[in-house]
């Protein structure tokens, strides 16, 4: 009986590892390759990221001179290859730069609890996501949406967040314009590595 339990436990561990690996693979399948050189340069400037001119996926953020920096993985376009996430149940501060020694930690606005976002980059230490550069999205996903469809948020945001999101919309190229974006800590949100949760 004990050997049977150990066998089941071993199978469960293997399945969980395989599941984690496949979810990470799906998240990383969206990479910066679908960004044009111009889009990549514009994004790097807005996010405070520097990338190797010869290998543009070799990127850093922070204070490189002092050795206080993160390796950065740049994800693909939020239109062509979105990597979604959702803010946890508390509002979060958007920061203009990653958190390193000596940074001011200047807040660039707040995102509402449960706000749907697209992850544009991850600042990492030893392949562990520490911070995300996110853009808030003008639509939402919930029980009122079919499958993985994106649709409008059914309830209006509180006044303080309505102002932050007032100009956030899709343009005629289906791109996002006027949407708040910046760095937040990875533990302040859930990243949907396997894509949007399917509505029940």
38-51: pLDDT as tens digits: 888 888 999 999 99
Q: Give the per-residue pLDDT at 101.
A: 67
Q: What pLDDT band is residue 80 in, cutting at 50, 70 and 90? A: confident
Residue 82 tokens, joined: 């979105």
Q: Give the per-residue pLDDT at 153.
A: 61
Q: Are 48 and 96 in contact (CB under 8 A)?
A: yes
Compute the C-alpha angle 43/95/53, nearest 5°: 30
pLDDT digits (tens, 9 = 90+) for 7-43: 433 433 333 333 333 333 344 445 566 788 888 888 8
Q: Are 98 and 70 in contact (CB under 8 A)?
A: yes
The answer to whether residue 85 scores a pLDDT higher than 80 is yes
The answer to whether residue 129 scores a pLDDT higher than 70 is yes
Q: Give the per-residue pLDDT at 6.
A: 41
Q: Are 46 and 94 in contact (CB under 8 A)?
A: no
Q: Specify the higher pLDDT residue, 176 or 19.
A: 176
pTM reported for the whole predicted model = 0.79
How far, CA to CA in Å, does 130 sit from each of 11, 96, 116, 196? 30, 15, 19, 21
What residues contact 124, with CB distance under 8 A and at least 6 apart?
Answer: 70, 71, 72, 73, 130
Instruction: Please provide the average confidence, as pLDDT, over all residues in the chain.
Output: 78
CB atoms < 10 A from the CB of 154, how many? 10
């Amino acid at each position: 009986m004990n050997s049977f339990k150990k066998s089941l436990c071993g199978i469960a561990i293997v399945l969980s590892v395989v599941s984690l690996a496949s979810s990470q693979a799906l998240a990383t399948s969206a990479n910066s390759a679908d960004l044009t050189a111009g889009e990549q340069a514009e994004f790097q400037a807005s996010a405070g990221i520097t990338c190797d001119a010869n290998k543009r996926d070799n990127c850093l953020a922070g204070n490189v001179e002092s050795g206080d920096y993160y390796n950065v993985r740049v994800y693909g376009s939020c239109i062509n290859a979105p990597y979604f996430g959702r803010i946890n149940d508390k509002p979060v501060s958007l920061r203009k730069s990653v958190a390193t020694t000596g940074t001011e930690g200047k807040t660039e606005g707040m995102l509402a609890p449960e706000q749907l976002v697209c992850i544009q980059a991850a600042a990492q230490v030893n392949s562990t996501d520490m911070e995300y550069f996110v853009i808030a999205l003008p639509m939402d996903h919930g029980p009122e949406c079919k499958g993985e469809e994106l649709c409008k948020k059914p309830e209006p945001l509180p006044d303080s967040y309505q102002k932050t999101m007032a100009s956030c919309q899709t343009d005629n190229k289906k791109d996002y314009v006027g949407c708040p974006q910046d760095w937040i800590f990875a533990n302040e949100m859930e990243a949907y590595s396997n894509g949007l949760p399917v509505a029940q």
